[in-house]
Amino acid sequence: PYVSAARYGKDNVRVYKVHRDTEAGVQTVTEMTVCCLLEGEIDTSYTEADNSVVVATDSIKNTIYITAKENPVTPPELFASILGSHFIEKYAHIHVANVKVVTHRWARMEIDGKPHPHSFIKDSDEVRNVEARISRKDGIAIKSAIVGLTVLKSTGSAFHGFVRDEYTTLPETWDRILSTDVDASWKWKTVENLEAVQALVPKFDEAWKSARDITLKLFAEDESASVQNTMYKMCEEILVAVPDVATVIYELPNKHYFEIDLSWHKGLKNTGKDAEVYAPQSGPNGLISSETISA
Ligand SMILES: O=c1[nH]c(=O)c2nn[nH]c2[nH]1
């Protein structure tokens, strides 16, 4: 046997960093969870217990803290690229660093109508993620994402005209609840090195805001004929709004809310246009995904 692929490192490295603007008296916080996995000439550490090629995962963890201390931690695309580049530059036998950064939400509190200088709320479990592959020979490939943005609309969603056969029980509907946990990601065109990432820095936050705004606006306003079609419209608009992005990926669970027929109770009407009380379903759920590439 031989090792066909190997990567190792430290996962679930939680990092918090505060920026203190003493002049303005305003503090800003960033909290993230980092995973950093290395690839390279490391097979002998698996096949021959040769630890001389192993940068200990503990040292990788230490490097994450030091890199966070000495560099910007935002935008996460930049921090991930700086961190990954460190390993390629420092260790000749390490050829790829796979860095995932999950940034958690700390929304600045508004107290008496004013942004508070140093207090924040975790207003949802939504996260902003980055997965970067920093490779000595292939350059830097970055995928950014919005994950865990849970949304619901109480109307403005239909689903009819689908295959009807001996397996079908789902009634057609012209007015249903639509709810999903958005997982949207966009792949940047691969860049040569860290310098090229730094040139892109102003675009990373803009792209995240555009992708999030487009997703919410279309979700709310589209008279949805299906999750598939609404998802495609989101991809189209993101590809137009963010030219440096080559591919947009969505994965949307369809979190069903079932009507409850209460007619057995004194003829109580609670279906179709009379439906008001529904049963939210934990599962099964639909799962609709797509990858859309600019022309
Ligand atoms: O939007 C939807 N897409 C589907 O493919 C589907 N299948 N059942 N309900 C559905 N809703």
Reported ipTM: 0.97
What distance in Å separates the CA atoms of residue 191 and residue 156, rounded to the nearest whole number? 41
SS3 state of residue 88 = helix
What tokens appear for 98 in the block? 């796979």
**How high is the pLDDT of residue 230?**
98
What distance in Å separates the CA atoms of residue 129 and residue 141, rounded to the nearest whole number? 14
**How high is the pLDDT of residue 234?**
98
What tokens appear for 129 in the block? 């993620």
The phi and psi torsions of 220 (rounded to 5 degrees) equal -75, -45
What distance in Å separates the CA atoms of residue 187 and residue 191, rounded to the nearest whole number? 11
What distance in Å separates the CA atoms of residue 190 and residue 245, rounded to the nearest whole number? 9
What distance in Å separates the CA atoms of residue 265 and residue 243, rounded to the nearest whole number? 57
The catalytically annotated residue of 95, 143, 187, 256 is: 256
The phi and psi torsions of 70 (rounded to 5 degrees) equal -95, -5
Report how far Cα 108 is from the mean position of its chain's Cα atoms.
Answer: 21
- The burial of 78, by beta-carbon neighbours within 10 Å (0-12 exposed, 13-18 middle, 19 or more buried), is given as buried
Cα-only R_g, the chain? 24
pLDDT in tens, the chain (295 residues): 999 999 999 999 999 999 999 999 999 999 999 999 999 999 999 999 999 999 999 999 999 999 999 999 999 999 999 999 999 999 999 999 999 999 999 999 999 999 999 999 999 999 999 999 999 999 999 999 999 999 999 999 999 999 999 999 999 999 999 999 999 999 999 999 999 999 999 999 999 999 999 999 999 999 999 999 999 999 999 999 999 999 999 999 999 999 999 999 999 999 999 999 999 999 999 999 999 999 8
Gap from CA of 288 to ligand 1 centroid (Å)? 8
Closest ligand 1 atom number to CA of residue 256: 9
Gap from CA of 226 to ligand 1 centroid (Å)? 6
**Cα torsion at 75, 79, 84, 90 (round to 10°)?**
150
The phi and psi torsions of 138 (rounded to 5 degrees) equal -100, -5
Three-state SS for 206-264 is HHHHHHHHHHHHHHHHCCECCHHHHHHHHHHHHHHHCCCEEEEEEEEEECCEEECCCCC
Which protein residues touch ligand 1 with a CB less than 6 Å away?
159, 170, 226-228, 254, 286, 288
**How high is the pLDDT of residue 295?**
82
**How high is the pLDDT of residue 104?**
98
Gap from CA of 43 to ligand 1 centroid (Å)? 46
Write down the residue that tokens 């487009």 correspond to: 214
Among 149, 152, 154, which Cα is nearest to 213's? 149
Q: Is-catalytic flag, 10?
A: yes
**pTM attached to this predicted model:** 0.96
Whether residue 188 contacts residue 130, with contact meaning beta carbons closer than 8 Å, is answered with no
Q: Is-catalytic flag, 57?
A: yes
Q: Looking at the DSSP assignment, which residues form a beta bridge with residue 2?
A: none
